[in-house]
Amino acid sequence: MSGGTRVLVLNAGSSSVKYQLIDMLDGARLASGLVERIGESTGRLAHTPHSGDKRELLEVFPDHSAALKAVAEELAADGLGLDSPELAAIGHRVVHGGKRFTAPTVITDEVLKEIRRLIPVAPLHNPANITGIEVARALRPDLPQVAVFDTAFHASMPEYSARYAIDKAVADEHRVRRYGFHGTSHQYVSRATARLLGKDPAEVNVIVLHLGNGASASAVSGGHCVDTSMGLTPLEGLVMGTRSGDIDAGVVFHLHRVGGLSIDEIDDLLNRRSGLRGLCGENDMREIMRRADEGDADARLAFDSYVHRLRKYIGGYYAVLGRVDAIAFTAGVGENAAPVRAAATAGLEELGIAVDPELNSVRSGEARIISPAYSRVAVAVVPTDEELEIARQAFALVHRETGGSED
Ligand code: ADP
């Protein structure tokens, strides 16, 4: 191995690529950016070097290959080109790893083939991730490329958590089971929460609430996930920005048979026109809280439904874990929306859960505890950092496989 200490993290979506170049010596971001509207008539690349001003490039990026080449040029302009010997690996976020990939994996042709085989269970995500990998491999064929899977952290779930109670043979044939998502975030946040408590992750039980536009909860016992709210796809569980979360599967039959909606229309309804947006026409929690405060009944219903579902998962995972040391709020809503945190934990003193209103109202980018000293369960706000976790896992794997960098 070259002895490089930098990892480029790529998160390729269907029409976007997010990236960060991280130095693993100290976790410093050397550069970060986003390419949007790939394949559309007006593309945009926003690039922020560590030392220097943000640059914006407005041009057409016909495909991911063009987008990644533009990213490589921006990095090179800052002296951080992909040809740098400092670069140790490229870490790719891959959404679905199925049952096979339960840990970060060095990408080979065979691994890529297997990720492709999982497209039927992640049709929206895996194809874009694969494109990102192919383009990056073409740019630097000699460099280790590592896939870090959103599903991997959840692979430790016991079979009774992961199985749906349907015909086992049918489920197995079609690979239907709970896989869970946001795993990199749940892993990072559960560990960071243990650190915040001054404990080893192996000693603590944590309920992690990842509340972004997509949202999921997980029950983490001694550093291992034992249950999570998302399922075969990221549709199940909490009320989200535009997804319904938990719903009676019978609703699908009803909308099809009685409502005359096609399966594609129902898919669109539940994934893109439901959740907060479905209930009040808006999926940004800031705007919903503002409208609810002004007396808007739809916004109030959306907020209350969101919180109610969260409370059900907190209660459910409390029972699953038996003893809870901490509840950690993370991602856009979890890190910023104090009213959501207050409402989700209100009246749970009997469970040993309390939030200090003053601590809760502090705005900060740091991990912090917002429960009073007497609260048996620590309630924490822990900013997530999926990119750093991907970089760490990719770097650790490459280091391990090459026997260290002492060459
Ligand atoms: P994604 O799932 O897209 O990565 P994020 O974790 O960035 O999402 O979360 C985005 C969501 O966070 C926004 O849709 C918004 O609802 C919410 N959010 C961001 N900032 C605030 C804030 N200050 N107060 C309340 N909600 C916020």
Q: Which helix (H) or strand (E) holds 170?
A: helix 168-173
DSSP conformational letter for 248: -
The whole-model pTM stands at 0.93
Expressed in angstroms and rounded, the spacing between residue 209 Cα and the centre of ligand 1 is 13
Q: Which helix (H) or strand (E) holds 55?
A: strand 55-59
Query: CA-CA distance, 228 to 231, in Å (whole number)?
Result: 8
Short-list 60, 66, 29, CA closest to 43: 60
Query: CA-CA distance, 405 to 374, in Å (whole number)?
Result: 47
Query: CA-CA distance, 154 to 102, in Å (whole number)?
Result: 8
Residues 125 and 242 in one domain: no
Residue 191 lies in a domain: no
Position 190 scores a pLDDT of: 98
Query: One-letter amino acid identity for 93?
Result: R
Q: How is 317-352 classified by DSSP, letter by letter? A: HHHHHSS-SEEEEEHHHHHH-HHHHHHHHTT-GGGT
Can you tell me the mean pLDDT for 223-247?
A: 96
Expressed in angstroms and rounded, the spacing between residue 332 Cα and the centre of ligand 1 is 3
What residues does ligand 1 touch, defined as CB less than 6 Å away? Answer: 212-214, 241, 283-286, 331-333, 336-337
Residues within the annotated binding site?
11, 18, 93, 210-214, 284-286, 332-336, 386
Q: How far, rounded to the nearest angstrom, does the alpha carbon of residue 279 sit from its chain's CA centroid?
A: 24
For residues 367 and 329, is the Cβ–Cβ distance under 8 A? no
pLDDT tens sequence across 11-33? 998 888 999 999 999 999 999 99
pLDDT tens sequence across 252-270? 999 999 999 999 999 999 9
Across 115-124, 219-228, 233-242, 244-253, least confident range = 115-124
Residue 276 lies in a domain: yes
Query: One-letter amino acid identity for 134?
Result: E
State both tokens at 209: 């609430």
Q: How many domains does the chain have?
A: 2
pLDDT at 162 over 50: yes
Residues 76 and 11 in one domain: yes
Short-list 276, 275, 251, 252, CA closest to 264: 252
User: Helix, strand, or coil here: 98?
Assistant: coil
pLDDT tens sequence across 192-226? 999 999 999 999 999 999 999 899 999 999 999 99
Please give the number of the atom of ligand 1 that sits closest to the Cα of 384: 6
Length of the chain as a residue count: 407
Residue 174 lies in a domain: no
Write out the residue range of the structural domain in which residue 89 sits: 6-149
Residues 107 and 203 in one domain: no
Residues 372 and 268 in one domain: yes
Residue 26 lies in a domain: yes
Give Dmax (Cα) for the chain.
68
pLDDT at 401 over 90: no
Can you tell me the mean pLDDT for 354-374?
A: 97
Active-site positions read: 150
**Above pLDDT 70, what percent of the chain?**
98
Query: CA-CA distance, 281 to 307, in Å (whole number)?
Result: 17
Residue 185 lies in a domain: no
Across 74-83, 147-156, 258-267, 299-308, least confident range = 74-83
Task: Name the residue with the closest Cα to ligand 1, atom 21.
Answer: 336
Q: How many CA atoms lie within 13 Å of 405's alpha carbon, on the beta-carbon side?
A: 17
Expressed in angstroms and rounded, the spacing between residue 211 Cα and the centre of ligand 1 is 8
Residues 232 and 343 in one domain: yes
Domain at 40, CATH number? 3.30.420.40
Residue 171 lies in a domain: no
Please give the number of the atom of ligand 1 that sits closest to the Cα of 331: 6
Can you tell me the mean pLDDT for 215-242?
A: 97
Expressed in angstroms and rounded, the spacing between residue 182 Cα and the centre of ligand 1 is 15
Query: CA-CA distance, 29 to 49, in Å (whole number)?
Result: 8
Please give the number of the atom of ligand 1 that sits closest to the Cα of 340: 25
Query: One-letter amino acid identity for 285?
Result: M
